[in-house]
């Protein structure tokens, strides 16, 4: 697939993700959050739809999270944008040379990615950040299409066990090695799965995940993705 075709496929996918209403629980939640809002964002117009992936269509690095955050991507319309998890992720991507700036606050803040694409297996914000198995499986075709379009990807960084599980299912990894920070899983296709603890506050606030640990993952991703 050439660059133009890749970009077109991802653009169509983005429209389909934003329009999706297949999971009643998630649709109700994302829209309710968009109406009730958090006090700090009471003047914001929430996106409150499915959140598509974002980045460079010609990426060699794919970053896989879990799902949009209720007051982050569900508000801004872009993955890991407008919340503290995203602050950690984009700083690390900037230090590794993948992001044009170290912060991401709004959809139009000028951030671009070079060589990287960010997505999640579940495209709508779930209550308590816990999608059901049925919701995960309903969203799976979007992830499949995304993986197919991103045919230049060499390294897949999975943030947390949920993204790791879905990525392994999608890529046919059997048996699945135990998840752990820094674990590498070479694939027969020449790609590599690279594991990281999620950038959620429960990891970053407690010190389970530190910035040097995250930097090491993206430094390794850069090494593995060199053409």
Q: What was the pLDDT predicted at 55?
A: 97
CATH of the domain spanning 3-224: 3.40.470.10
pLDDT band at 217 (very low <50, low <70, confident <90, very high): very high
Q: How many CB atoms lie within 10 A of CB 160?
A: 20
Q: What is the domain partition of the chain in residue ranges?
A: 3-224
pLDDT band at 19 (very low <50, low <70, confident <90, very high): very high
CA distance 117 to 227: 17
- Is residue 185 helix, strand or coil? strand
| Vertex 203 angle, CA 201 and 205, to 5° | 55
Sort 44 into a burial class: Cβ within 10 Å, 0-12 / 13-18 / 19+.
middle
Helix residue ranges per DSSP H, 50-187: 73-76, 84-95, 133-149, 161-171
Helix residue ranges per DSSP H, 96-210: 133-149, 161-171, 201-204
Residue 188 — φ and ψ, nearest 5°?
Answer: -60, -25
Q: Which neighbouring-strand residues pair with 118?
A: 54, 63
Note the pLDDT tens digit of each residue in 106-161: 999 999 999 999 999 999 999 999 999 999 999 999 999 999 999 999 999 999 99
């Amino acid at each position: 697939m050439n660059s133009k075709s890749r970009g077109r496929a991802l653009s169509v996918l983005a429209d389909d993700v934003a329009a999706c209403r297949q999971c009643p629980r998630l649709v109700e939640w994302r829209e309710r959050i968009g109406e009730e809002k958090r006090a700090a964002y009471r003047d914001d117009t929430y996106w409150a739809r499915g959140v598509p992936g974002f980045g460079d269509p010609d990426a060699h690095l794919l970053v896989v999270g879990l799902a949009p955050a209720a007051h982050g991507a569900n508000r801004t319309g872009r993955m890991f944008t407008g919340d503290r998890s995203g602050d950690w992720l984009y700083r690390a991507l900037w230090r590794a040379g993948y992001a044009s700036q170290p912060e991401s606050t709004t959809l139009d803040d000028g951030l671009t990615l070079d060589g990287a694409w960010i997505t999640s297996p579940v495209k709508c914000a779930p209550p308590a950040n816990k999608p059901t198995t049925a919701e995960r499986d309903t969203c799976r075709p979007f992830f499949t299409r995304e993986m197919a379009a991103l045919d230049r990807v060499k390294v897949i960084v999975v943030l947390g066990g949920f993204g790791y599980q879905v990525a392994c299912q999608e890529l046919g990894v059997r048996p699945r090695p135990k998840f752990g920070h820094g674990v590498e899983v070479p694939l027969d296709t020449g790609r590599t799965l690279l594991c990281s603890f999620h950038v959620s506050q429960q990891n970053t606030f407690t010190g389970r995940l530190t910035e040097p640990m995250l930097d090491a993952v993206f430094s390794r991703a850069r090494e593995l993705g060199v053409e």
